[in-house]
Amino acid sequence: MLTCIVIVVGFLRSATFFEATLSASTSIHNAMARRVLRAPLSFFHTNPSGRIVNRFSKDQGQVDDLLPSCLFDALQSAFLVVGAIVLVAIAVPVVLPVFVPLALAFFWIRRRYIIASREVKRWEAVTRSPVFASFSATLKGLPTIRAFGAAERFQTSFLDLMAHNGDWWFAFISTSSLSAHQAAAGGGVRASGAPPALIHSRSFHVLALDEATANVDRATDELIQTALRDFAHRDREAHGRVLLVIAHRLDTVMDTDTLLVLNAGELVESGPPSALAATPGGVFARMVTAARLAAPAAAKGEAAAAAAAGGGGAQ
């Protein structure tokens, strides 16, 4: 009975909270749209289109997606802390004076952090608006840009704007909890959004990588794999660390000690990669053969595309 009550109360709490946040974000969007639609022409001359699009897209998206979950977690953490303090006060009242300097230190750190993080976030939003403005202006003036052969100049300018915004976004991630090292089960560490150099320098007992290079090109993948091999080799000799890799490219796992091949969630093969690749009719051996056959075809396709691009430029 008590379990059912807890489930119902938790469901009602979550539903009420997210309904309230949805209503608040809807009200903010409607009020903003109403003001923009009724704004005089001087408003559009003063504010570029990229800034307006930024408010309706990225900023409104954060209000819809990020703010409710952060507020929910903050309230939940606050109630947990208050409950813990009350329990400690009841069980060991002599500890209560310790909370006073701890609270003062917490508020001092919070004040110092808010000043920096708010400014970094503001600059991230400020540098994002020119990206939208440049993209919108390029779409509107595309025929003129092509007629005067200024496509490369506009592309370079757009990439510079994106890089400038990316610098501030990286700074914001570095100063926020999104880059924190989250404690995993068993005392491990899960590094979310941490820089590769930071991951490389940490003293991990177990480092798990789930398709860490899925969204990078092959050149970047080779650099990352070289760093990971050095990391695994150095730690394996010195401390006996474990490196777990879930890969989508075969060359990523060819240097591992043991390879597990899964099919439909079931283990079909296991052993050293060299032994599995030499097994006639094996699943991994067939994958290696298919990859070797596909590599020359991909190279020919890239060469043909480069030749076609060179021929088009010569004409």
Hey, is 237 helix, strand or coil? helix
> Please, which residues have CB within 8 angstroms of residue 269's CB and are 6 or more apart in sequence?
259, 260, 261, 276, 279, 282, 283, 284
Report residue 290's pLDDT band, with 50, 70 and 90 as the boundaries: confident
Q: Is pLDDT larger for residue 240 or for residue 250?
A: 250
Calculate the CA dihedral of residues 243, 249, 251, 257 and round it to 10 degrees: 30
| CA 68 to each of CA 22, 25, 61: distance values in angstroms, whole numbers, following the listed order | 8, 9, 11
pTM for this predicted structure: 0.46
Residues 230 and 236: their CA atoms lie apart, in Å, by 10
Q: Answer yes or no: are the C-beta atoms of 133 and 48 closer than 8 Å.
A: yes
Residues 252 and 225: their CA atoms lie apart, in Å, by 7
Please say if the pLDDT value at position 299 is more than 80: no
Task: Supply the pLDDT for residue 204.
Answer: 59
Hey, is 186 helix, strand or coil? helix
HSE (CB half, 13 Å, CA atoms) of 256?
22
Report residue 231's pLDDT band, with 50, 70 and 90 as the boundaries: low
Amino acid residing at 247: A
Which stretches within 141-251 are classed as H helix? Answer: 142-147, 151-175, 196-201, 218-238
252 secondary structure, DSSP code: G
Q: Domain spans of the chain?
A: 24-74, 105-177, 209-301
What's the chain's average pLDDT?
77
213 secondary structure, DSSP code: T
Q: Answer yes or no: are the C-beta atoms of 228 and 243 closer than 8 Å.
A: yes
Residues 31 and 64: their CA atoms lie apart, in Å, by 15
Task: Supply the pLDDT for residue 203.
Answer: 54
Q: Answer yes or no: are the C-beta atoms of 210 and 237 closer than 8 Å.
A: no
Report the sign of the C-alpha dihedral through residues 303, 305, 309, 314, in that order. Answer: positive
Report residue 298's pLDDT band, with 50, 70 and 90 as the boundaries: very low
Q: Which fold is adopted by the domain 209-301?
A: Rossmann fold (3.40.50)
pLDDT (tens digit per residue) in 106-122: 889 888 888 888 888 88
Report residue 304's pLDDT band, with 50, 70 and 90 as the boundaries: low
Q: Is pLDDT larger for residue 199 or for residue 78?
A: 78
If you average pLDDT over each of 1-5, 29-33, 298-302, 311-315, which comes out highest?
A: 29-33
Q: Is 21 exposed, middle or buried (0-12, 13-18, 19+ CB in 10 A)?
A: middle
Task: Supply the pLDDT for residue 177.
Answer: 58
Residues 22 and 28: their CA atoms lie apart, in Å, by 10
Give the lowest-confidence range in 55-59, 241-245, 281-285.
Answer: 241-245
Instruction: State the CB neighbour count (10 A cutoff) for residue 44.
Output: 12
Q: Which of 260, 195, 249 is nearest to 217 (CA)?
A: 249
Strands 266-271 and 259-263: antiparallel
Please say if the pLDDT value at position 84 is more than 70: yes
Report residue 1's pLDDT band, with 50, 70 and 90 as the boundaries: confident
pLDDT (tens digit per residue) in 152-203: 899 899 999 989 988 888 888 777 655 444 444 444 444 444 444 444 445 5
Q: Is pLDDT larger for residue 195 or for residue 99?
A: 99
Report residue 240's pLDDT band, with 50, 70 and 90 as the boundaries: low
Please say if the pLDDT value at position 44 is more than 60: yes
Task: Dig out the tokens for 252 from the structure.
Answer: 């990523």
**Element spanning 285, H or E:** helix 283-314
Which own/partner contact pairs does 137-142 have at CB distance under 8 Å and 24+ positions apart?
137/49
Task: Supply the pLDDT for residue 30.
Answer: 92
Please say if the pLDDT value at position 241 is more than 80: no
Task: Supply the pLDDT for residue 173.
Answer: 79
Q: Is pLDDT larger for residue 214 or for residue 18?
A: 18
Give the lowest-confidence range in 68-77, 106-115, 166-175, 230-239.
Answer: 230-239
Please say if the pLDDT value at position 17 is more than 50: yes
> Please, which residues have CB within 8 angstroms of residue 67's CB and are 6 or more apart in sequence?
21, 25
